[in-house]
Amino acid sequence: MNSKGLGWAELAILGAVPFVMVLGNSMLIPVFPKFEQVLHINQVKVGLLVTAFSLPAGLLIPFSGMLSDRIGRKIVIAPALILYGLGGLVAGVASVTMGKPFPMILAGRVLQGLGAGGTYQLAMALTADLSPGSKLTRHLGFLEAANGFGKVISPILGALVAMVSWFAPFFVYGVLAFPVAALVWFGLNEPNPGGKGKSWGEYFKTLGDIVKKKGISLLAAFLVGFIALGVLFGFLSYLSDVLEQKFNLAGVKKGLALAVPVSAMALTSYGTGVFLEKRQHLLKPTLILGMAIAALSLGVVPLCIGARYIFPITVVGAGIGIGMVLPPLNTMITAATSQDERGVVTSLYGTVRFFGVAVGPPVFGAIGFERVSLFYGVGAVAIVTAILGYLLINSRQLTQQPSN
């Protein structure tokens, strides 16, 4: 660990990584209806723009985490950001130059996803490497807030940029990703890059010991992350559609409306991180309460869809609930291992999160936004997940450092 701790300049650079990464999906959500019109695709196919990004990211994350444990974090993060930006440029250029660009746009999204697989979770692992124990929850709350702030800005930015052209958002990725890659490379001083020289056999033996001791708690925590992110992005894809059809909001107005729940989530994430900094015993209760609030909010959506003033309350409630879940979850998972194995465990968590993001929009679209059963079902799943988290997660066990 860095004895000097993590300075605000370094924390800002680390926060820029999830901020840029989250634009990968969130910036396109308000443009989904336009994609449907221009590319002549349905709701399920437009959801594939999220899946094509999130699925390869989820598959690659564990390998990037393992690699970062061996060779260092920033040597993986910086090139990954460059690949992320290049993928956006591929999608943008295809949109300009091809008559039927959808397959090549999907290919560009896959490249972006491969790049995203080496970003946010490794930034979390590096934050944990650099943070004293008492500051870890606060710093991870800041990263989650930066992620949430990206979700706040992205629908507005996507709507604004799409006023220039429907494909313009793809070019934004390169403009933002390349400078952040440079900041990571030149602005961060990484402690102990490349681990402590363990052999691969020793490395996997240590991971096996962690799974034996903490496997049930980790799996339950991963499940909560999967459901939380799947619900969030499925619900955002629903909002993008319903705001236009039911409330006649489009363009920047719709972007501002989409920013409301993610603003609530971002503010709640940071506030929760600060609150839990010296209240580690409340990690699990906060997580369970957040899932319960999200479940309740989603369950009442069908009852107030036509109410212009009540409907936003349920939307904000869902954002607050998810915002309460993520900081304690991040803390428990990043603290579950020592620095030398943290990358792969944190990255496995990232895989689960990305799979949740990948699954959410297509599932919501396939069931049908107009079906009341969708929200009752999602609310029930969130409640069941909260109960499983309560029964299976041992927060003290997860946050207790393993002996080496």
Q: How far is CA 195 from CA 37, 190, 288, 339, 343, in A?
A: 50, 11, 34, 8, 10
CB 113 within 8 A of CB 358: no
Contacts of 338 (CB under 8 A, 6+ apart): 206, 401, 402, 404
Quote the CA–CA distance of 366 and 178 in Å, as a whole number.
36
247: in domain: yes
Give the pair of three-digit tokens for residue 12: 């800002």
The answer as to whether 281 is a domain residue is: yes
CA atoms of 79 and 74, how far apart (whole Å): 9
- Residue 2 in any domain: the answer is no
pLDDT reported for residue 200:
61
pLDDT given at position 339: 65
Q: Closest by alpha carbon to 112, among 54, 156, 69, 70?
A: 54
CA dist., res. 65 & res. 151, Å (int):
24
Q: Which CATH number covers residue 53? A: 1.20.1250.20
Residue 370 lies in a domain: yes
Q: What is the pLDDT of residue 203?
A: 62
Q: Which pair of structure tokens corresponds to residue 299?
A: 């369950």
Q: Which domain holds residue 113?
A: 8-399
| Longest CA pairwise span in the chain (Å) | 61
Give the pLDDT score at 166.
86
* Per-residue pLDDT reduced to its tens digit, 98-108: 888 888 999 99
Predicted pLDDT at 3 = 42
The dihedral of CA 229, 230, 231, 233: what is its sign? positive
Q: SS3 for 401?
A: coil
pLDDT for 46 equals: 81
Q: Evaluate whether residue 404 is within a structural domain.
A: no
Asked if residue 1 is part of any domain, the answer here is no
* CA–CA gap between residue 396 and residue 284 (Å, rounded): 9
Q: What is the pLDDT of residue 197?
A: 52
State pTM to two decimals: 0.69
Distances (CA, A) of 30 to 96, 158, 161, 239: 20, 7, 11, 9
The CA–CA distances, whole Å, from 158 to 19, 23, 106, 162, 179 equal 14, 9, 18, 6, 19
Q: Token pair for residue 105?
A: 């746009």
Answer whether residue 215 is part of any domain. Answer: yes
Q: Is residue 372 part of a domain?
A: yes
Predicted pLDDT at 308:
66
Q: How many domains does the chain have?
A: 1
| Average pLDDT of adjacent 10-residue blocks, the chain of 404 residues | 64 90 81 83 79 82 79 89 94 89 91 87 82 74 80 81 88 91 89 60 68 79 88 79 74 76 84 83 89 87 70 84 88 74 73 78 73 79 88 76 49
